[in-house]
Chains A and B, each alone.
Chain A
Amino acid sequence: MTQVLFSEDHEYIKIENGVGPDGSAVKLGIVGITDFAQKALGDVVYVELPKVGATVAKGGQAGVVESVKSASEIYSPVSGEITEVNQALADDPALVNSDPHGAAWFYKIKIANDSELSVLKDEAGYKAFTESL
């Protein structure tokens, strides 16, 4: 079963176990913004994706999502190297509103440090967090 974790900046990360080039176990994360975030933003008209191969730090800027009325930065929930970005999302930014947890993923990242996952919230924890806002 895929593990999904959430940041307080309203990004989700789906964790997948994979194998690195040298045969070692690596963890990949698929990052997007939550349904709660897309509802708050409103109709998304533009997204900016990170570059494949770039390294981002936890909490660092890894993209931009813009609605008619405002621009918001995507903060990476974990540190690591960007391995893939979702070009289909750049072509059709409205996917963020219609399928935030599915087709509207932003990027895949090779997770550099497992321990960063421990400070993210699980689904119940994130739900409680959004209800407290």
Chain B
Amino acid sequence: MENAALKPAELLHKTPLHALHVSLGGKMVPFAGYDMPVQYGDMGVLKEHLHTRSHAGLFDVSHMGQAVLTAKDGDPARILEKLVPGDIAGLSAGQMRYTVLLNDKGGIVDDLMVTRWDERTLLLVVNAACKDKDFAYIRAKIGAETHLEYLGDRALLALQGPKAERALSALIPDAARLFFMTSFKTVYKGQPLYISRSGYTGEDGYEISLPAAFAESFTRELLANDDVKLIGLGARDSLRLEAGLCLYGHDLDEDTTPVEANLKWTIAKRRREEANFAGAEVILKQLADGTARLRVALKPEGKAPVREGAEIHAGGKKIGMVTSGGFGPTADAPVAMGYVDAAYAKNGTAVDAMVRGTPRPCTVAAAPFVKHNYKKD
């Protein structure tokens, strides 16, 4: 759990909610340069995970990078499209999209959320561990035509689970009117909030961007609702894994394309036709011809978790590697994902994951492991 090569705790960044986490029993660990709660004393990963799926979990994701992209002239969407394969220009005000930032080889620099605020403004939310790299890359590639403003003085909360709508709309009634992957700006108690119906757990819920100085009091307001509990990074990881969602640096990296990552759906039809994004040549060829390897979901038989780094074997030879894996508390079974040679990527294919030298039978399966619960209509 704690990983090596760490900065001393005093050199780690702290989110605006750090003191609150510590006071509420958060077990703090270094993550992406921040001192973050992996779990809270009174619950633990298993209960936190189950609470999110049955009630509502509140996550501090202030370590993620929030930035506003504008163009020096007009709409920044077409300019950003040089670096991502998604349809950004087609987003209407308030709509958002999951997409990937690409390098010239078609490899994934990061995965991110892009929200259109209006015809001249986009909000980007990127991974904590990648934000310095991402912002430098965006500035190097399209900085001459755009302005990127890092929102370093804002916190970000995720409120996820079936009780999220009731909990947030008790404070901000308009939140109930949002559908999945839409957003609005509002003012609450004089504070500017950016609220979207999105998240990364597979559940209905929201992400709420708010001024850092307002974060603790707003968090306490949400926690006053008995359905809402603070949830740490441990359960955040098991929730996203069960939902079949990728974790950058594990399931995605700069040597992996969205085609290999089985994220073909992020490459919009118009963008395929225009072929004008970074790495388009590589990616279009892969779309036409296929790839040597593909990301798949894996269902291990039995109870033994299959974790990141386990080799995947078939017919006595290595055909892939597990990139994320663990125990799924809602699935009540081990769950995993990884990359396999394309010949073994079909649902239902039997493979072995090597766990401590022992082959553990797994089936290539359709993700997610638990049904998504998004509010789509």
Instruction: Enumerate chain A interface residues (CB-CB to B < 8 A).
Output: 42-43, 45-46, 48, 64, 66-71, 93
Contacts and interface: CB of A to CB of B under 8 A. Distances in A.
A45 B45 CA distance: 11
6 contacts: A46-B305, A46-B327, A68-B235, A68-B238, A69-B38, A69-B326
B138 interface: no
Interface size class of B (residues with CB under 8 A): 20 to 34
Interface of B: 1, 38-39, 44-47, 49, 234-235, 237-238, 303-305, 307, 326-327, 329, 334, 356
B356 A64 contact: yes
Nearest to A94: B46
Chain B contact residues: helix, strand, loop or mixed: mixed
Q: Which 4 A-B pairs have the closest CB atoms?
A: A43-B46, A45-B327, A68-B45, A70-B1
Contacts of B44: 42-43
Nearest to A72: B1
A68 B238 CA distance: 8
Contacts, number: 46
B45 A71 contact: no
A68 B305 CA distance: 9
B307 A71 contact: yes
A48 B303 CA distance: 10
B46 A42 contact: yes
Contacts of B304: 46, 48, 66
A48 B304 CA distance: 8
B49 A68 contact: yes
B42 to A, nearest CB: 12
A69 B303 contact: no
A68 B46 contact: yes
Given A42-B39, A42-B234, A67 B356 contact: no
A69 B45 contact: yes
A71 B305 CA distance: 9
Contacts of A66: 304-305, 327
Most chain B Cβ neighbours within 10 Å, of A45, A48, A70, A71: A45
A93 B304 CA distance: 11
Most chain B Cβ neighbours within 10 Å, of A42, A46, A69, A70: A69
Contacts of B38: 69
A42 B356 contact: no
Nearest to B327: A45
Nearest to B46: A43
Nearest to A91: B303
A46 B39 contact: no
B234 A69 contact: yes
Nearest to B39: A42
Nearest to B45: A68
Contacts of A64: 356
B303 A68 contact: no
Nearest to B235: A68
B48 to A, nearest CB: 9
A68 B307 contact: no
A45 B330 CA distance: 12
Nearest to A61: B356
A71 B308 CA distance: 11
B242 to A, nearest CB: 11
Given A42-B45, A46-B327, A69-B238, 4 more contacts: A43-B46, A45-B46, A67-B327, A68-B329
Contacts of A69: 1, 38, 45, 234, 237-238, 326
A69 to B, nearest CB: 5
A43 B235 CA distance: 12
A67 B45 contact: yes
Contacts of B356: 48, 64
B46 to A, nearest CB: 4
B303 A46 contact: yes
Nearest to B44: A42
A71 B356 CA distance: 11
